[in-house]
Amino acid sequence: MSVGPALVRQIVAFPRRGPEREVVKPMKMLGDRFARGLSRLVARWPTKVESSSALPKRTLVFVFVTSAVGTALLANGLSHWESHDGGRFVCYLLVALLASGLKVQLPGIDASMSVNFLFILIGILELSLPETLVIGCASGLVQCLWNTKTAPAPIKIIFNVFGMMAPAITLSAFAYHQLAPLLRNSTPLLLITAACVYFVSNTVPVTIAICLSQSKSFSKAWSESYFWSFPYYLLGAAIAGLVSMLNRRISWQTSLLVLPIMYGIYYSYRLYLGRLMNEKRRVEETAALHLHTIEALALAIQAKDDSTQDRLHRIGVYALDVAGELGLSESETDAVRAAALLHDVGKLAVPEHILSKPGRLTPEEFEKVKIHPVVGAEILRRVDFPYPVVPIVRSHHEHWDGSGYPDGLKGEEIPIGARILSAVVCFDALLAGRQYQHPASLGEAIDQVEGLAGKHFDPTVVAALKRRCRGFQALVESKPHPAYREQLAVAQAKICSGVEPAAGFEHSKSSHAQTGFIDSIAAARQEAHTLFELSHELGASLNLDETLSLLSLRLQKLVPYDSMAIYMVQGKRLVPRYASGECSRLLLSLDIPLGQGLVGWVAQNQKAIVNGNPAVEPGYPVDCNRPRLGSGLGVPLEGLDHTLGVLALYRSEVNAFSKDDLRILQAISSRLSLSIENALNYQQAENSATTDFLTGLPNARSLFLHLNREVARSEREGTTLVVLVCDLDGFKQVNDRFGHLQGNRVLQLFAQALRDRYREYDYIARMGGDEFVIVMPNLNEDSVESKAELCDQIARRIGREVCGDEVLSASVGHASYPQDGRDVEQLLSDADRRMYLVKQEHHSATKDAGSFPSVR
């Protein structure tokens, strides 16, 4: 219900007798103006009401008790109503209500102060206690509701009106009237006493309520928010005494002359508080700037050590919460906040390969890491912190039992901030995990920390951590820090493909998405680490397939791709040697002439290409059902004296690669080329060591290795194994009659015929000279004779083809596992013995009948 002009007129225009009638007209004019202003401003009073559900129970109890006491005092005063001059009471009431609107916001707390206390002091001198209570409580109510964006909760209104104003007025009036005999009725002393009592009784309850709800220090909250205003109360007492003296000598209407003085006091309030708030704002901005600078440096350092960007934020939130639980002072809390950000700044002195090592550190590496608290403390000692940060940073690896470093402190010798930080850092590390350790659950993490209480950690700190840990996640989410959200735009040069238009490539441009500065620093560290690992591991294997498979796995972390292929130069063509990813089968099916297509152009021109069109590759299928490759990145692989091949990456998006991706490939291409060339040379040397150069068959060394494996397999699986030893009869005559070139041709044709006529999984080797061995697993005894006869038939046919005469035959002996032997030497020896028996029969038959013997 709004207050209108008519209601105020009724209040002002009550019947008067005697000299009161002469003030009716001015009072009516004042009432009209006040009512019009009030009716306009009442519409601006807030409709949203502040909730009081967030107040702690202890605060609510205090508010209810003080409000009950104040209500009782107000009721007692009103029950003894007394008014000697109604006009003066109404006039003072209206002016006090007007003064309630002249209020200023107090610094540091959610409270305001107005100049209505001046008329409360005048009321104590000129009016009765009930009248003064009405003026004070009414003006207090207006002060709560007038010109506020959000109406205070009802409990706050009750506390301000009944819990603060009524007791303060009652106590001030009691002090003024009851102490008069003690102070010999000295009005100045009585006014000063009443003003002091009013100041104390009006500010102490609200300070207690603030301290109970916000866990602040009483002395600090009272001195910062209220004590500065004490001189104004003394000035008010002086003005009230002056007004009282004028009223007695002239008339009470002269009290209206205090209105300009009241406005002057209000204006001086505003100026003083404005300067105070501006100074406080500058101090806070400077402190925030220093803190943000610290945070930015700490985040940059952290990004070089750990890619988990929110680790410092989590540790800071945890540490501050535990510090609040333990009741640390403001200075100690500020030190914990700064130390949580800067505790690892000394890791600048630790080599990066130790910080980024994926496994556990060696004792020597750990000794190097142990210098970082000392270095960090020395760095921060040069910063003039107003709170003790340096001791915390130096001691955050000290243990409660004295087994820590660097100084071996123990127990309470360790600063409380360092004890909090060490427990919190360990707790966060357990939750987040390490490269060599899986993350722990909340229960497991707190159990492990609790198990170290009394050894590594302060038991009191661990107990506080245990009490607060379950609310940490919600606390971190409720306090996001802008340093982890702000992004710094990093310009990327757009990349042109740089390809001959006639080659059929698209002219394209590409750029990376913008990334934050923390991500950029972390990515640089990750890139250096991955390149180092890749360079180290590429030379660890001489197996080409292992090398290329490792490249595929590691390269994905540096340059994202959908498919990858390695093409090797073979003559005038590029043949895919390895492929991985979504389109690996498609890429393995390509056969690209040099100079044609994307990779053919790269190999012929020995230049890289960015965002070429993979569809121009010869043989690339035009099929809507196949996955489409939109862009390709290719770099040549240069050997010592020729081009080995091309490394190509593919993405489904068009213009997906950038010049930064090309830079990374070029950084590893020389190392990759060397590894591939070494693998190829090793493969060639290995083939030479195990392959017969003339026939291309495995040689004797390879035969023994294979035969050992086959014997072991047959023994393990309980299967049979047949070994044939074949010797070419008449081969010396071929060399003598037709020359060694024809003899070599006979051996080559005989080897090729054996490969063609025997089973794919039969192993055929050349022992040396004109002697061959055939290893046949799982062969029936009935088939041995036919396989031996097949050798003789092949030898005779080859002899006729090359020499045009029946000059060749084959003597074949066999041995079976396990009947004839259980090891390689027994099998070969038995088969060789039988082969010589057949050869002797062959010679005998040739001398006697000129015919060839049968084969055994």
31 within 8 A of 93, measured Cβ to Cβ? no
What the block records as the tokens of 635 is 């770099």
549 plus 600 within the same structural domain? yes
Q: What pLDDT, on a 0 to 100 scale, did the predictor assign at position 463?
A: 92
468 plus 565 within the same structural domain? no
Residues of the chain with pLDDT > 70, as a percent, come to 71
CATH number of the structural domain spanning residue 767? 3.30.70.270
378 within domain boundaries: yes
pLDDT tens digits, one per residue of 280-309: 777 667 766 666 776 666 666 666 555 445
Q: What pLDDT, on a 0 to 100 scale, did the predictor assign at position 22?
A: 41
pLDDT tens digits, one per residue of 784-797: 888 888 998 999 99
854 within domain boundaries: no
660 plus 708 within the same structural domain? no
What's the rounded Cα separation, in Å, for the pair 743 and 728? 11
301 within domain boundaries: no
Is residue 474 predicted with pLDDT exceeding 60? yes
386 within domain boundaries: yes
Last-in-domain residue among 623, 654, 687: 687
Is residue 508 predicted with pLDDT exceeding 70? no
269 within domain boundaries: no
| Cβ within 8 Å of residue 391, ≥6 positions away | 377, 415, 417, 418
Reported confidence tier of residue 409, pLDDT bands at 50, 70, 90: very high
Q: What pLDDT, on a 0 to 100 scale, did the predictor assign at position 269?
A: 62
| Cβ within 8 Å of residue 706, ≥6 positions away | 698, 763, 765, 775
Give the count of domains, the chain. 5
- Long-range contacts made by residues 395-403, C-beta under 8 angstroms, separation at least 24? 396/339, 396/343, 396/421, 396/422, 396/425, 397/370, 397/373, 397/422, 398/422, 399/455, 399/456, 399/457, 400/453, 400/454, 400/455, 400/456, 400/457, 400/458, 400/459, 401/454, 401/455, 401/456, 403/455, 403/456
Nearest to 8 by CA among 24, 31, 29, 26: 31
**Residue 813 burial (C-beta neighbours within 10 Å; 0-12, 13-18, 19+):** buried
Q: What pLDDT, on a 0 to 100 scale, did the predictor assign at position 642?
A: 81
126 plus 252 within the same structural domain? yes
pLDDT tens digits, one per residue of 442-470: 888 888 998 999 999 999 999 998 888 88
Query: What number is the average pLDDT over the span 380-390?
Result: 81
**Residue 317 burial (C-beta neighbours within 10 Å; 0-12, 13-18, 19+):** buried
Last-in-domain residue among 224, 257, 290: 257
With both helix axes pointing from N to C terminus, report the angle between 24-42 and 5-12 in degrees, rounded to the nearest 10: 150
Kindly give the residue spans of alpha helices, DSSP state H, lying in 14-153: 24-42, 57-79, 86-100, 117-126, 129-145
Which DSSP state fits 848?
Answer: H
Question: Which range, of 82-96, 311-325, 675-689, averages the lowest pLDDT?
Answer: 675-689
Q: What pLDDT, on a 0 to 100 scale, did the predictor assign at position 415?
A: 93
86 plus 168 within the same structural domain? yes
Query: What number is the average pLDDT over the span 72-91?
Result: 82
In angstroms, the Cα distances linking 614 to 350, 489, 625 are 46, 32, 16
For residue 727, the SS3 value is: strand
Query: What number is the average pLDDT over the span 163-174?
Result: 84
641 within domain boundaries: yes
* Residue count (the chain): 856
Q: What pLDDT, on a 0 to 100 scale, did the predictor assign at position 529?
A: 64
Q: What pLDDT, on a 0 to 100 scale, did the predictor assign at position 538?
A: 67
CATH number of the structural domain spanning residue 160? 1.10.1760.20
Q: What pLDDT, on a 0 to 100 scale, did the predictor assign at position 302?
A: 62
56 plus 40 within the same structural domain? no
625 plus 656 within the same structural domain? yes
CATH number of the structural domain spanning residue 413? 1.10.3210.10
Q: What pLDDT, on a 0 to 100 scale, did the predictor assign at position 398?
A: 93
For residue 563, the SS3 value is: strand
Residue 301: count other Cβ atoms within 10 Å of its Cβ. 20
840 within domain boundaries: yes
Question: Which range, of 41-50, 200-209, 661-670, 738-747, averages the lowest pLDDT?
Answer: 41-50
What is the enclosing helix (H) or strand (E) of 612? strand 609-612
368 within domain boundaries: yes
Q: What pLDDT, on a 0 to 100 scale, did the predictor assign at position 541?
A: 64
87 plus 13 within the same structural domain? no
187 within 8 A of 205, measured Cβ to Cβ? no
Counts for the chain of helices (H) and strands (E), in that order: 32, 12
36 plus 55 within the same structural domain? no
CATH number of the structural domain spanning residue 522? 3.30.450.40
Reported confidence tier of residue 479, pLDDT bands at 50, 70, 90: low
Is residue 95 predicted with pLDDT exceeding 80? no
79 plus 226 within the same structural domain? yes
The partner residues of 434 in beta bridges, in order of sequence, read 437
764 plus 834 within the same structural domain? yes
Domain carrying residue 519: 501-687
Q: What pLDDT, on a 0 to 100 scale, did the predictor assign at position 765?
A: 92
Preceding omega of 777 cis (within 30 degrees of 0): no
**Residue 279 burial (C-beta neighbours within 10 Å; 0-12, 13-18, 19+):** exposed
Residues of the chain with pLDDT > 90, as a percent, come to 10
For residue 73, the SS3 value is: helix
Is residue 509 predicted with pLDDT exceeding 70? no
pLDDT tens digits, one per residue of 9-54: 333 333 333 433 443 344 444 445 444 544 444 444 444 444 444 5
Query: What number is the average pLDDT over the span 199-212?
Result: 82
606 plus 673 within the same structural domain? yes
Question: Which range, of 108-112, 164-168, 278-282, averages the lowest pLDDT?
Answer: 108-112
Q: How far apart are the first and last CA of the chain?
A: 126
Reported confidence tier of residue 489, pLDDT bands at 50, 70, 90: very low
Mean predicted lDDT score pLDDT of the chain: 76
